[in-house]
Structure 1
Amino acid sequence: MRFCDVTLSYTETSGGIRTYIDAKRDYLLEHTNHHHVLIVPGHHDEVEEHDRCTIHRIASPTLPGCEPYRFFWRPDKIRQALDQSAPDVVELGSFYVAPWPVFGYRKDRQAAGHPTVVGGYFHTDIAEAYVGQPMRHAFGEWNDAIEWLGDRLAELTEKGAEKYVGSVFDHCDLRMASSPKQAARLVDHNVPEVHVVPLGVDLQRFTPDRRSQEVHRAMGVPDNDLALIYAGRLDVEKHVELLVDAVELLPDDMRPHLILVGEGPLRGKLEKRAKENGRTLVLPYEDDPDRFANLLASADLYVTAGPTETFGLSVLEAQASGLPVVGVEAGALVERVPSELGALGPVDDARAFADNIQQVAPNRQELGRNARRHVEQHFGWDSTFRKLLGLYDDALASHGLPAAKRAATGAVAHP
């Protein structure tokens, strides 16, 4: 059996979606006989094959202002990669150019007598994060009248994006979201029958046992000072500048240090502010997962201000590392951060965010222990992929692939 992921959110500096795909590939290799195929944009056309894994990179231009991300623009190249790799299951992680060659591939495969299933996973709330929020932000920097106009235009364009994304998911055989709240967002898009498939975390890698005072000091934080850490894209939709605003409002006696780990278009601006306030350090994206786990475990609090998270995988990794979380009461953070694991406040309110840091910091050890226990009890990649493969197995069965054939090809080889 061949499983395929098609996404543009897989680069050297990607976050949660790449983590999910890498974990899926590792699970397939370790627990099944399946082959994994990945189709992504790249600098040039190339095919890489190793150990039941195939990566098709399709020459694609970069997204302006979002380098190194690239966007698909040649549907014929996507179709060519699909025909060449012949997957039985295709999971969509990108929803503009990519779906249509995928749906065409499914139609032709099924006509030829090969049951084929397409799944859509709601990793990113495109309508809100990349349409509505940026437009509101741009118009909000003017006067009240322009801000009102921006809100109306954002609402209209966001509704249009919701309608389009909903139509893509409606064409899928399976529709999945990482949380009940995100499943409800898809229902807002008029998408029926959404399955909740929570993401997971590597509990052996992300653990409080990795805490190191040496790493704490290497981040520029003296032993008794407070290390606040954020890991993710340094971009407008993540509201990263608010974290800097909040840290600048903290009293000197807290001795706060903000560590920002990642890449993105705001990096230069954040580095400038770091030099000015002396409380912020901007580190590059950490591509070594063990070194990244060491950074998380050696900090004291995890902070994030993005209101449009669909799951918050980085939050889960921080909690597994024994960190309480300070965030905003929006998106997936409402589900990820109950009061016994940290504190949430209003969106875009630096004063309230700083107050929550002051509230959580004295209790960080107890809250951090709670966070670790919570993740141990409720999250883990094995349960994620057992459920995911079970859903695909049922979908293939409904498309006419007999159980004996599914077993022979490894379709039911998962535990």
Structure 2
Amino acid sequence: MRILDTTLFYTQASGGVRTYIDGKRQALLRRGDTSHKVVMPGSRVFFDGDFVSLPAMPLPLAPGFRFPLRLGLWSSIIAGLQPDVIEAGDPYTPAWAAQRAARLLDVPSVGFYHSDLFTLVHHRVGRFLDPGTRAYIKRLYEGFDMVLSPSRVMAEQLHRCGIGEVEVQPLGVDLEAFQPQRAKPNARRALGLSEDQHLLVFAGRGTQEKNIPVLLEAMRRLGPDYHLLLIGTGLQPDAPSNVSVIHEFCQTPEVAGWMAAADALVHAGDQETFGLVALEGMASGLPVVCVDAGALPEVVPGDCGRHVRPNDGAAMAAGVRDLFEHDDPAALGRRARAHVETRHSWDAVAESLVGHYRRVLGDHEQPVLASTHESHS
């Protein structure tokens, strides 16, 4: 089976979508019965093995990202690569190009709703665009032969936009890269911490949706017995003294080393479509204190940490304190690791994805009208 992924989110600055494509690709290639190509934005047309860069315009307000404008070029190049299945990982030009290429080849197209366009527009532009955003999403995703969502909450969002069938496909985590044994030596010493202080961690881009100010407020309330390490979030000038910041992009081994050296992961983002960083923390043997919003409650079981009220620094602080004062964080961390080993290996995710692809290949001539259901990995 020849599989092709296209998305404007495959850049060094990308987060979960690139992680998804890389993890999926490695697992697919291990199978031996599939090939995989990626079409992504770049400054020019460039072929590099299984990776193809196509011209896209730099986005001044989103450094590191490019937006494709030449729909015809993208669809023609994708069609020329002769895939059996085309998957689009964003709701923009690559998605429309994927559908056009699929029609040219008479092969199925799959739309993966990684990015919650509706919520993004609603919060950043205004609710007056809600009807138009819903109409756009409905028009786009109705054009795919199959629609995938990383979580039930995102499937419900698509339902509200008028999309009838959505397959829920949870994402995976690199269990080799993220594991307790990867702990960075002397991490506490490097941060100037004693063994009695509890080390918390969060990794990710410091975008508005991550709600970093909520974590900073929680740390002010928690005081010197707790210390938070923020990785890759950019400068945080308002951070209290019990917060350290690595304000630059870090490669996976560096992030994994810091994570495994921590005692818990904290996550205040209330708009996560999945929340891969929570999964990475759990794979590193950490309990997770996260907000009870977005997809995070689906990713983090209640017996692997704490769910707290969103957008509330006091609630986050109380959840962290309760975890350490009334529970065994190490035991919860072991439970979290066991959970992701069972349900979220990339090999298991790839097996589920191939099942989706085989189904849509068989059903390509007749769209399926069943109701939403979850695909367990």
TM-score using structure 2 length? 0.90
Separation of aligned partners in 1, 2:353 and 2:112: 10
- The Cα RMSD (Å) is 2.0
Work out whether 1:375 is the aligned partner of 2:333: no
Separation of aligned partners in 2, 1:279 and 1:304: 17
Separation of aligned partners in 1, 2:132 and 2:147: 20
Is the alpha carbon distance of 1:220 and 1:70 closer, same or farther for their aligned partners in structure 2, counting shifts above 3 Å? farther
Aligned with 2:218 (options 231, 246, 265): 246
Counterpart of 1:158?
130
Contact 1:13-1:287 at 8 Å conserved across structures: no
Separation of aligned partners in 1, 2:96 and 2:183: 47
Separation of aligned partners in 2, 1:247 and 1:379: 31
Deviations 1:2-27 (A, max 9, x none): 21111111111322111110011112
Aligned with 2:277 (options 276, 299, 314): 314
Contact 1:329-1:345 at 8 Å conserved across structures: yes
Unaligned runs of 5+ in 1: 111-115, 136-153, 401-415
Separation of aligned partners in 1, 2:123 and 2:288: 23
- The size of the alignment, in residue pairs, is 363
Work out whether 1:258 is the aligned partner of 2:228: yes
Separation of aligned partners in 2, 1:220 and 1:397: 59
Q: What SS class does the counterpart of residue 273 from structure 1 fall into?
A: coil
Deviations 1:23-48 (A, max 9, x none): 11112221124322111112333221
1:127 Cα deviation (Å)? Answer: 0.8
Contact 2:87-2:98 at 8 Å conserved across structures: no
Aligned with 1:336 (options 299, 305, 319): 299
Q: Mean Cα displacement is larger for which, 369-378 or 219-228?
A: 219-228
1:210 Cα deviation (Å)? Answer: 2.2
Work out whether 1:124 is the aligned partner of 2:115: yes
Is the alpha carbon distance of 1:4 and 1:260 closer, same or farther for their aligned partners in structure 2, counting shifts above 3 Å? same
Unaligned runs of 5+ in 2: 366-377
Work out whether 1:392 is the aligned partner of 2:357: yes
Counterpart of 1:347?
310
Contact 1:213-1:223 at 8 Å conserved across structures: no
Separation of aligned partners in 1, 2:184 and 2:288: 19
1:162 Cα deviation (Å)? Answer: 2.5
Is the alpha carbon distance of 1:356 and 1:99 closer, same or farther for their aligned partners in structure 2, counting shifts above 3 Å? same
1:395 Cα deviation (Å)? Answer: 1.6
1:91 Cα deviation (Å)? Answer: 0.5
Separation of aligned partners in 1, 2:26 and 2:319: 38
Work out whether 1:181 is the aligned partner of 2:153: yes
Aligned with 1:282 (options 229, 245, 267): 245
Is the alpha carbon distance of 1:392 and 1:372 closer, same or farther for their aligned partners in structure 2, counting shifts above 3 Å? same
What amino acid is the match of 1:304?
Answer: H
Separation of aligned partners in 2, 1:85 and 1:220: 53
Equivalences for 1:202-221 in 2 at 5 Å?
A: 202-221=174-193
Is the alpha carbon distance of 1:214 and 1:190 closer, same or farther for their aligned partners in structure 2, counting shifts above 3 Å? same
Separation of aligned partners in 2, 1:96 and 1:273: 35
Is the alpha carbon distance of 1:74 and 1:218 closer, same or farther for their aligned partners in structure 2, counting shifts above 3 Å? farther
Is the alpha carbon distance of 1:301 and 1:158 closer, same or farther for their aligned partners in structure 2, counting shifts above 3 Å? farther
Is the alpha carbon distance of 1:166 and 1:222 closer, same or farther for their aligned partners in structure 2, counting shifts above 3 Å? farther
Work out whether 1:200 is the aligned partner of 2:172: yes
Separation of aligned partners in 2, 1:48 and 1:163: 37
Runs of 4+ in 1 over 4 A off after TM superposition: 284-287
Counterpart of 2:206?
234
Separation of aligned partners in 2, 1:316 and 1:237: 18
Contact 1:324-1:367 at 8 Å conserved across structures: yes
Separation of aligned partners in 1, 2:314 and 2:100: 51
Work out whether 1:61 is the aligned partner of 2:57: yes
Separation of aligned partners in 2, 1:34 and 1:376: 24
1:242 Cα deviation (Å)? Answer: 1.7
Q: Percent identity?
A: 34
